[in-house]
Amino acid sequence: METRFGPSGNSLSFYQQGHKSSVEAPKWLADMGLSAYEYSCTKGVKIKKDTAARIGDEANKYDIALSIHAPYYINLASPDSKKRDNSVNYIIQSLEAARWMGAKRVVFHPGACSNMDRGSALELALDTLKRVINEADDMGLGDIVLCPETLGKLNQLGSLEEVLRMCRVDERLLPTIDFGHIHAYTGGGLKTYEDYKAALDTIEEALGMERLKHMHIHFSRVEFTKGGEKKHWTFADTQYGPEFRPLARAIIEKGLKPIIICESRGTMAEDAKEMKEIYESVINGR
């Protein structure tokens, strides 16, 4: 499998051109030279089985790798046991939708630290994650890859180290490395090729080369404050980091084949295409 690029959700231009349904997205993306698409269930898993299957057929036809982003309100570390139960259910619902669609990956936000210290919150999240994995296996959904995501706000549970710890619960898990979030979480810590390479080396040490190679990536320019992530911007908003080019170089030099999803605001497909062009220009030594 080659490195793939695609958007999270649909660009504004997709709708401006008269498209109404995500069923039309795979062809639209393939026409732009893209090969991945993250379907957003961030406000709840509301997609109907029939629609999911139609998106899946189109993605198959146009060679688009599908993933699903699970609801934002998942919190594996909630102090409220009912909310942890619900979080397990939201991830299972996302896995079911992934099955209908033929999506191979489900991305989710681990949660927040609430009033706990980080260590206790992480322990609780690991316990809830194990329940998710057991339930997924019982339901025959264990082949769909769970991808916990690095988060951008300091009070969230999802530093790089925390996500890597979660991935060590089961060797089937892959990390979603959101470099915009890491940049925000670390107060602007991703600037140079060396910064990116250090992050990739950390992942390799924790999970091994195979999982690093096939990891899931989110990328966008992110504005941040003292508390971390504030807002996602577009590639045109160059006053905000991080930059993709040094990451492209680190990915290429390590021989990785990730799926790279762009989460720009409104121009996610266009910016995914720009990332692909930057990536190819680095390969060609330009």
User: Shortest distance, CB of residue 138 to Zn ion, whole angstroms?
Assistant: 26
Beta bridge partners of 38: 8, 67
Q: How many residues bind Zn ion (CB under 5 A)?
A: 1
Among residues 137, 165, 163, which one has the least CA distance to residue 218?
A: 163
Cα(259)–Cα(190) distance, rounded to whole angstroms? 20
User: Shortest distance, CB of residue 284 to Zn ion, whole angstroms?
Assistant: 31
User: Shortest distance, CB of residue 150 to Zn ion, whole angstroms?
Assistant: 9
Cα(190)–Cα(234) distance, rounded to whole angstroms? 17
Please identify, using beta-carbon distances, which residue of 40 and 267 lies nearer to Zn ion.
Answer: 40
Please identify, using beta-carbon distances, which residue of 23 and 275 lies nearer to Zn ion.
Answer: 275
Q: Percentage helix, strand, coil, to 5, in the chain?
A: 45, 20, 35
Residues 213-252 that bind Zn ion (CB under 5 A): none
Please identify, using beta-carbon distances, which residue of 68 and 92 lies nearer to Zn ion.
Answer: 68
Among residues 1, 3, 5, which one has the least CA distance to residue 273?
A: 5
Contact map string, positions 130 to 159, toward Zn ion, x by CB under 5 A: -------------------x----------
Among residues 168, 161, 258, which one has the least CA distance to residue 215?
A: 258
Residue nearest to Zn ion according to CB distances in the complex: 149
Beta bridge partners of 225: 228
User: Shortest distance, CB of residue 167 to Zn ion, whole angstroms?
Assistant: 16
Please identify, using beta-carbon distances, which residue of 96 and 149 lies nearer to Zn ion.
Answer: 149
Please identify, using beta-carbon distances, which residue of 58 and 152 lies nearer to Zn ion.
Answer: 152
Please identify, using beta-carbon distances, which residue of 54 and 69 lies nearer to Zn ion.
Answer: 69
User: What radius of gyration, in Å, describes the C-alpha atoms of the chain?
Assistant: 18
User: Shortest distance, CB of residue 109 to Zn ion, whole angstroms?
Assistant: 6
User: Shortest distance, CB of residue 156 to Zn ion, whole angstroms?
Assistant: 11
Phi, then psi, of 149 in degrees rounded to 5 = -105, 140
> Three-state SS for 16?
helix
Tell me the residue type at 77: A
User: Shortest distance, CB of residue 107 to Zn ion, whole angstroms?
Assistant: 6
Please identify, using beta-carbon distances, which residue of 65 and 282 lies nearer to Zn ion.
Answer: 65
Beta bridge partners of 222: 232
Residues that bind Zn ion (CB under 5 A): 149
